[in-house]
Structure 1
Amino acid sequence: MGVIASVSSTLSFGLVNGGHVGMVFGWLVPCFFVMFIALSMAELASSMPTSAGLYYFAAKLAPERYSPLASWITGWANVTGQVTLVCGIDYTCAQMITTAITVGTDGRTIISAGGTYGILLALLICHGLLCSSGTKVLARLNLIYAPLTIGTTMAAIVSLLVLSKGNRATTKEAFTSFENNSGWSNNVWTFFLSFTAAMWTLTGYDSACHVSEETANAQKAAPAAIILSVMLTASLGWLTLIAVSFATPSVSDVLSSDLPLPMGQVFLNNLGKSGMLAIWGAIIVVQFVTAAAQTVDASRVVFAFARDNALPGSFIWKRINTHTQTPVNAVWFTVGAAAICGLLGFSETALISLAGSSVIGLYISYAVPIFLRVTSGRSKLIPGPFGLGRLAVPIGTIAVAWVIFIVIVLLFPPGQHINDEDMNYAVVIIMAVFLFATLSWVTSARKWFIGPVRTIDDVVAPK
């Protein structure tokens, strides 16, 4: 989930929509509610560890008559969120690289939108090659990734607090100063829009479900991974943003920077050119590995959905490579689809559109099985080692209510007065997929799609 890289990518959401308050409390509030979703998902992952994950959960918990439809909706929402999340992470990684180039050349070299898209394509190809490797290689990558992420995050927090001495915001300003730099006149609504940063960062923890078929003791490991990753990301992210808030005496100065990512300007102001480039290089590595982890996750979702014949060309995407024993074709489907989504990089609101699309797609896919868990699936769930007991219904209800609220927020544009350049294209992406999935269901899929397909026969005990 790449704490420091995600915070660096999305700092603009808090700065624009609330200033110091948007940074600090625009992170804390959604983190509180996301924990309810994580707890509910952890219970489902413990009960049903499978790479199909969420759409498998939906199929098992829905009334039998609506099981295929619930699975279809959840699967398409999750695939949409997963692919756009890959694109969003690699797009911001490309922006980090262009930021480093601009700082390294003292502003003499500014990469165009076309150049940024070229870097995005190069990153996607690198991740396609890397994620086509065997499971053991990917596991070793994750072992490096965790300490690198936490170490870089701690280094950023300490360096900002220490080196900003004499050029800090006061404690009162850091926690209570509210600045509305958005295009909305209502301050409460503006504050809601700052939630985008935390919501985009706190995605992808369902990957623990999707790689469970490649994980030992998944009934315990998957729920532990979901809960711990959300808790650590939420905590470290909040501490990082508090440090950034103190290190930002003037929000308007940071927002007026020519750098693609405002966080680069914060580091430059406090650490100087050499210090900024040193820690920025580490953040780029964190974001690169984050994107690799997300590409693995997304490819497993594509593979599982194709295994159930739900994607166009499923016979291609569900093939397992005989050498690596991984779904290599699904990896390249993910990379190709992300490259198409990356064309949004030529718009002014690329990050808003990509972040909105990934959060909406993923959180709808999170909410459907949780909703079914607290309604029709109460008596259907066979608890695993981790269960919520009597708390499952109230926790699940809060989780679903939060998703409904945040989806509505993320469909809105960044300002009241918009044109084609300022539009939030998340609406276009989500509606396009929704219409395609709906038409496919009505005209064809409802006649043959039965939900997750059994690929392993039951083991019959000898008589």
Structure 2
Amino acid sequence: MSKELKGKGEAPQVTTHSVDHGKPDTQAIWANDDKLLAQLGYASEFKREFSLIETIAFSFSIMGVIASVSSTFSFPLVSGGHVGMVFGWLIPCLFVMTIAASMAELASSMPTSAGLYYFSAKLAPPKWSALASWITGWANVTGQVTLVCSIDFTCAQMITTALAVGSDGRISLGNGPTFGILIAILFAHGIVCSAATSILARLNLFYVLVNVGTTIAAIIALLVCSGNKGERVSTKDAFTLFENNTGWDNGGWAFLLAFTAPMWTLTGYDSAAHISEETAGAAKAAPIAILVGVAGTATLGWLTLIAASFATSSVSDILSTSLSLPMGQLFLNVLGKQGMLAIWSFIIVVQFVTGAAQGVDASRVVFAFARDNALPGSRFWKKMNPYTQTPVNAVWLVMVCSGLCGLLGFSATALSSLAGASVIGLYTSYAAPIFLRITSGRHKLVPGPFTLGKWYMPLGIIAVSWVTFIVVLLIFPGGQKVDAKGMNYAVVIIMAVFIFASGWWILSAHKWFTGPISNIEHDSRESTYDEKQREIEAADYD
């Protein structure tokens, strides 16, 4: 299926889908997907190799439940102990589901790699459409790139933890070697993420098997082995014992800081929207993947932390560990050296594939934003590789920027702030289109196969309110007495990007950035989606 392209700059290479004789409906599904994408204003440039199952696997794998829980285990330990582990995870997950549901509706209506900033552009008032798209896009790009760095740096820390345990403490790598491992991981991810879509789709089936299998094995091991050693705490203590190790006098506020762990884990599920141009039946597959990915990660993560709570006989002992990650100490206490190294090896693999999935997601965001000329050097970053038909240039831009962010790893405080900045950036970009959906976009959304109906308003209000609360929470330092070492620099990172993007907008971008740019012949300024929006508005007001 070919399309005539408008001669503005470089015409994108249009994918021609071949018939899959084993699946007689495949060509029809692809044709419908490409038609919907054209209505949104874009020509099809990717191969649609992701099936529904593979899209779900991608959304689930990008959150890497067991590896993410292991990475962030220190937060609930410090902020509430056993109560922080169990309820510090459960409460945020319930609110995140409202965000996921709202996002799923938008992804079903507008399945394009542009994702969140495209949603904002279409739902904002015409006068503010370009600015809403600009803000959402830069927030999302910031969150995506910093999240790649956070995931891969933690993977490097997991490797140093394994080396320390395996050598009985004789090998203790500092910040320099850890940064070197990070660079090696980013290089490996650059190669993987540059692969063709068909390879990436199949890899995600492997990712999800390793992820789920390792998580279930960790849950069973913690429960069974802690019982065998007689270290398992009582059910009452596992669910109700509260310990405040934050430095804040107010125990309630200290408990709230435990929310950082699930909020860092439950990120990246917008990935299903960003790969929608590579997905067959995207309008249905994307919302299903978002909801299943979040619900599955939330459930398995909660079960993992319940098991960890039962297995933690002393919170203070775990916190006093010399290992990079306290979860490594818990596994060492419960499983012994050999058992810990066995399960930890699989967790490292999970974290590695999580970083690979996030690299794909971030590269698609960068590609889409560059396609709409919103990044410096957009002409180069939006190029598609003729052999793999993937945005290889965008992939390596993400890896280089993530490596530069990794320099913050020479300060533990700065690295922790980077993780907070990734959550703030991503959730700001999640909340922006949802806020517009419940305000100026109430009568603009063209419903897709998945719609919330009248529930969009209460769910949207809860989602936006929660993001507002959590962004404020993530800016606060971990302790009440703040010095240079204990400062939360997330606000500094976010403000640096905000000042850059705002300055560029005021000085230049407001003159030429108009939001998503149609690259197909039927209309370079207005998509069929806009026409449908006006029809819906007219019908509502009539």
Coarse TM-score class (shorter-chain normalised): over 0.9
Matches within 5 A, 1:201-220: 201-220=265-284
1:235 maps onto 2:296 in alignment? no
Per-residue deviation, 1:419: 2.3
Mapped partners of 2:354, 2:208: distance in 1: 10
Mapped partners of 1:421, 1:252: distance in 2: 21
1:25 maps onto 2:87 in alignment? yes
Matches within 5 A, 1:203-282: 203-282=267-346
Per-residue deviation, 1:351: 4.4
Letter in 2 for 1:105: S
Mapped partners of 2:352, 2:412: distance in 1: 23
Matches within 5 A, 1:132-171: 132-165=194-227, 166-171=230-235
1:366 to 421, 430, 434: 430
Mapped partners of 1:287, 1:188: distance in 2: 32
Mapped partners of 1:350, 1:427: distance in 2: 11
Letter in 2 for 1:358: S
The CA deviation string for residues 381-411 of structure 1, in whole angstroms up to 9 with x for no partner, is 0000000000001100100000000000001
Letter in 2 for 1:228: V
Per-residue deviation, 1:313: 1.1
* CA contact 1:132–1:324 (8 Å) conserved in 2: yes
The aligned residue for residue 380 of structure 2 is 316
Mapped partners of 1:350, 1:157: distance in 2: 31
Q: Give percent identity, aligned residues only.
A: 70
Mapped partners of 1:136, 1:422: distance in 2: 45
The aligned residue for residue 84 of structure 1 is 146
Matches within 5 A, 1:6-405: 6-165=68-227, 166-405=230-469
Letter in 2 for 1:138: L
What RMSD over aligned residues (CA atoms) do the two structures have, in Å?
Answer: 1.1
Mapped partners of 1:7, 1:50: distance in 2: 30
* CA contact 1:17–1:190 (8 Å) conserved in 2: yes
Mapped partners of 1:145, 1:456: distance in 2: 36
1:415 maps onto 2:479 in alignment? yes
| Count of aligned pairs between the two proteins | 460
Secondary structure, counterpart of 1:349 in structure 2? helix
Mapped partners of 1:371, 1:181: distance in 2: 36
The aligned residue for residue 432 of structure 1 is 496
Mapped partners of 2:402, 2:365: distance in 1: 14
* CA contact 1:39–1:227 (8 Å) conserved in 2: yes
Letter in 1 for 2:131: L
Letter in 2 for 1:141: L
Letter in 1 for 2:256: F
Per-residue deviation, 1:17: 0.8
What runs of 5+ residues in structure 2 fail to find an aligned partner?
1-62, 528-542
The aligned residue for residue 49 of structure 2 is none
Mapped partners of 1:450, 1:439: distance in 2: 17
Mapped partners of 2:399, 2:489: distance in 1: 20
TM-score (norm 2): 0.84
* CA contact 1:348–1:422 (8 Å) conserved in 2: no
Mapped partners of 2:283, 2:248: distance in 1: 46
Mapped partners of 1:284, 1:348: distance in 2: 20
Per-residue deviation, 1:344: 1.3
* CA contact 1:74–1:364 (8 Å) conserved in 2: yes
Per-residue deviation, 1:129: 1.0
* CA contact 1:15–1:255 (8 Å) conserved in 2: yes
Where has structure 1 moved over 4 Å in runs of 4 or more? none
Per-residue deviation, 1:184: 1.3
The CA deviation string for residues 180-201 of structure 1, in whole angstroms up to 9 with x for no partner, is 1112111111111110000000
Q: Mark the structure with the bigger radius of gyration.
A: 2
Mapped partners of 1:226, 1:311: distance in 2: 27
Per-residue deviation, 1:420: 2.2
Per-residue deviation, 1:350: 4.0
Per-residue deviation, 1:458: 3.7
Mapped partners of 1:220, 1:357: distance in 2: 31
Mapped partners of 1:310, 1:69: distance in 2: 11
Mapped partners of 2:378, 2:247: distance in 1: 44
* CA contact 1:196–1:355 (8 Å) conserved in 2: no
Mapped partners of 1:105, 1:339: distance in 2: 28
Mapped partners of 1:403, 1:457: distance in 2: 39
Letter in 1 for 2:241: S
Secondary structure, counterpart of 2:233 in structure 1? coil
Letter in 2 for 1:363: Y
Mapped partners of 1:407, 1:308: distance in 2: 28
Secondary structure, counterpart of 1:182 in structure 2? coil
Letter in 1 for 2:177: G
What runs of 5+ residues in structure 1 fail to find an aligned partner?
none
Per-residue deviation, 1:418: 2.2
Of 386-395 and 342-351, the range deviating more from structure 2: 342-351
